[in-house]
Amino acid sequence: MPGSIKENTGTVFMMTIPFSQANVPDAAGDMECIAIDNQISPPMPFAGSIVGISVQTNADLTGTTALTFAPTVNTVSKAANLSALLDDTHQQAYTMLRPDVIPFAAGDNLGISWTKTGTTAPTTTDAVALLFCLVYNGQN
């Protein structure tokens, strides 16, 4: 099957989940899944692990502004394992991680949160992010 790796106990698929935030405020927060306005994240149907994050803003952050984006599992930040930093010289960033460092179970909710350093400027900055996961079909 194209795009998958066959294992003894099931099939492993790469899944990409989109997130966005319009007008990033001058505060920490959580990105919205699939550009809806109520910050919900559907439960994962299978077990798996988070293996990457990619983020970009539509405007250059100014001065000492820095935004650090990290995946969450059931609203718990995994920034200690995986994060991407945007600042006044980096308008896009990505980072990857080997499988099984940030595992999740079937039924867990995945997300992306951010923390900030300095004053977020401009506050009209929009951000988009992709969360990359390996999903283990047949292993929930």
- Tell me how crowded residue 22 is: count the other CB atoms within 10 A of its CB: 14
pTM of the model: 0.84
Asked if the bond preceding 103 is cis, omega within 30° of 0, the reply is no
pLDDT tens over the chain, length 140 residues: 444 444 445 688 888 888 888 888 778 888 777 655 555 677 888 899 999 999 999 988 888 888 999 999 998 999 999 999 999 889 999 999 999 999 999 999 999 999 988 887 787 888 999 999 999 876 54
- Distance of alpha carbon 47 from alpha carbon 28, whole angstroms: 28
- Distance of alpha carbon 77 from alpha carbon 34, whole angstroms: 19
CATH class of 4-137: mainly beta
